[in-house]
Structure 1
Amino acid sequence: MIQNYNESAVIVHVDFCEAWKCNYSSEVQSCHFGQSLPQLSLHTGMYYTKEENTGFCTISESKQQDASAIWIHMEPVLRDIRLKFPEVDTIELWSDGPSKQYRYKKDFSILCNVPPTLGFQRTTWNFFANSHGKGAPGCTGGTVKRTADSLVLQGSDIVDGKIFHEMVGRSLCSTQFYHIAEGDMQTYDTLLSQPLKPVPATKNIHQVIPYGNSIHCRSLSCFCSEPQMCQCFSPTTFQLTENTHARV
């Protein structure tokens, strides 16, 4: 895909890193045992356009990692892509497929609604096989956390997400950093207020393409007829708000 995509497409590879615990460079014993410093959630990734490849990291004190939180982490990245590359109207998202994060009905529902509001005409979410797909997001996350650890060892205090964003972002100029306020995590909850039907055989799905309030899904990803959807690997259509699905 990276070798063959055109100027109108962006490939975005994402993953959550293991949480990073805030630290003082020096602290008394009572502070070490008595004060609970926050753990920061880091959502990292890399996006690829025809012009450049860019790593990014979004930071939040919230431990929430459900569909609403995922899209709060994704939104500033997608807005920046639209601003920097106005010709891009297609997103190809790649991630691993945990059933309570990326690959479940609530994430599919937001996938149908949010990208069009940001100006994207076509979106595809692709899931790697289990235990695969770390790649660039894992490398970005490791670099970010090592940089934060080094700053603490050099005498800096990183005690919250804003300081992490400021100090690590200053040290890693090649990576885009975004701070997510904990209060923003409920932004997309209203989109999930309508009851959603379970998607059959969710664990077997490896490609999802939103179409209005429905999704096209199949067991393997295929791009042989882009921008049209091909019929390889028996795609099915599922209406998220109704208990019906049919062959297409």
Structure 2
Amino acid sequence: MHTEIQSMHLRASQKQLTLHTGVYYTGMDDEAHTFCTVSDSLQHSPSAIWAYLTPVLDRIKAEVSDVDTINFYSDGPATQYRQKGNFYLFNKEMADRNMKQATWNFHETSHGIGVPDGVGGSLKRTENMSVLHGKDITTATDFVKTVKTPDSKIRIFQVTEEDVKSKIIEKLKLQPIPGTMKIHQILSVKRGELWYRDLSYNSMEVHEHQGQHLKFFSFWKVIMLYSICSLH
């Protein structure tokens, strides 16, 4: 493909890949562990996000077997992270992994570029150099082979279309949490139940300051109601 004329590369139908980038820290370790999940799937839904996160969480569990608390930090796009599907899967996945407590914290709008953006930029530059040297990269497998080198500090994980499909939850009739777009923190302690508030805060306690009180939401009521309605 590197020998094709310019107009060929301007068509919207060209093969694309999904990169899901991030960084994690474990325990008292100050070292940043950067990662990237790559897939041929172009899905960016909550189901896809958790397919992309699964190998990363598995790696963390393998490195720190007694981990019992996870804190996520991300931006808050309504189609991906700050929405009912992701809230449900976040609660489900944390319960499945026997986490005592987990939080998901949303940065404010226009929070700036962080480490995950740098990871993506670094990998894309590596791929661009490979293409300039005559190598075609048209699949996730090609991508992994190019960037997964012994001296690379970025951990690369590949996810298939089947992995994404295995997380699909479209059949569930989930209700949104009231005031979803104002939420900046959700907390998961028990399966089927979430606590949430308008400001991020590193405590499960209820505070008097505006935006810091915890509010409760249960998925069980919604799912049970749907099941009863389906029987009739």
Match of 1:246 in 2: none
Aligned residues: 215
Residues 77-117 of structure 1: CA distance to partner in whole angstroms, max 9, x if unpaired?
Answer: 00000001112221100000011100111111111111232
1:239 deviation in Å? 1.4
**Unpaired stretches in structure 1, ≥5 consecutive residues:** 1-23, 244-248
How do 1:43-54 and structure 2 match up within 5 A? 43-49=20-26, 50-51=28-29, 52-54=31-33
How do 1:3-82 and structure 2 match up within 5 A? 24-27=1-4, 36-49=13-26, 50-51=28-29, 52-82=31-61
Work out whether residues 96 and 128 of structure 1, in 8 Å CA contact, stay in contact via their aligned partners in 2.
Answer: yes
Match of 2:206 in 1: 231
The residue identity in structure 2 corresponding to 1:187 is S
**Unpaired stretches in structure 2, ≥5 consecutive residues:** 223-232
Residues 59-83 of structure 1: CA distance to partner in whole angstroms, max 9, x if unpaired?
Answer: 1121111110000000000000000
Match of 1:155 in 2: 134
Q: Distance in 1 between matches of 2:180 and 2:98?
A: 28
Q: 3-state SS of the aligned residue for 1:170?
A: coil
Return closer, same or farther for 1:117/1:32 CA change in 2, 3 Å cut-off: same
Q: Distance in 2 between matches of 1:34 and 1:239?
A: 46
Work out whether residues 16 and 138 of structure 2, in 8 Å CA contact, stay in contact via their aligned partners in 1.
Answer: no
The residue identity in structure 2 corresponding to 1:231 is V
The residue identity in structure 1 corresponding to 2:180 is T
**TM-score, with length taken from structure 2:** 0.85
Q: Percent identity?
A: 36
1:119 deviation in Å? 4.1
Q: 3-state SS of the aligned residue for 1:120?
A: coil
Tell me how large the CA RMSD over aligned residues is.
2.2
Match of 1:203 in 2: 181
Q: Kindly indicate which of the two structures has a greater share of residues assigned to strand.
A: 1
Match of 1:139 in 2: 118
**TM-score, with length taken from structure 1:** 0.80
